[in-house]
Every structure is written in structure tokens, then in C-alpha cells.
Amino acid sequence: MSVSSDTALAVRAKFFRGLADPSRLVLLLALQTGEKTVGRLRDETGLSQSNVSNHLACLKDCGLVLSRQEWRHVYYRIADAQILKLLHLADAIVAANAQRIADCVNYRIPEQDEERM
């Protein structure tokens, strides 16, 4: 593999790691319906305000989310329609493969680990 393809692969893996975080993913899912403030995202997701703010900052730094300020409020939205397409495609793939994904021993769901204890 060449250096440039190694870099491209690393960037791609980093992108998917960002989406793999449950808090960031729930924020992106909440933003599918349009722009929202931190307070509204906190209410919709059940995450703490500091958690929402920190994860939105990460998503913004990575270019997945954009923000705009209107007076004292900052509104966040998904940066690109392609991200929405990816989320919808992921939903379809998960729906078609839900049992196999749930049964995968390589990537445990935290609730599954608690059930086994």
C-alpha cells in the first residue's frame, strides 16, 4: 500500500470511529430532522448539556455538523446531505442484518456484556 492510500484509509477509519460513538451518533440522528440548539438536543437525547456541547464540537471539527449563531442561540445542523444519505443507508443495512450484527462477538453491545455477568 502506498503512503497516500495509507493516509486515505486512516482518514476513512477515523470518520467511521467518529460515527461509532453512541453519543455522536444519537446527535446526528436527532439532527436529521433539521437544525437544533444544544438545549433542544439535550432534551431530545437525554444527554447532559456538557456532553452534547462536547460531542457537537467534535462533530463540527470533523466537518459533519455546521453551526450558526442567532442572537444568543447557536443552531446546529448536519453539514452535508451525503451524511443524511449515509445515515439512511446505515439504517437499511442494520435492519437487513440486525440479528447477525447483534450476534457478532467481536463488537459487543454494552447491555449484552451486563446480561452475561
pLDDT tens track, the chain, 117 positions: 555 688 889 888 888 888 889 999 999 999 999 999 999 999 999 999 999 999 999 999 888 999 999 999 999 999 999 999 999 999 999 999 989 888 888 877 666 555 544
Of 79, 58, 80, which is closest to residue 68 (Cα–Cα)? 79
User: Does pTM surpass 0.85?
Assistant: no
29/55 Cα distance (integer angstroms): 13
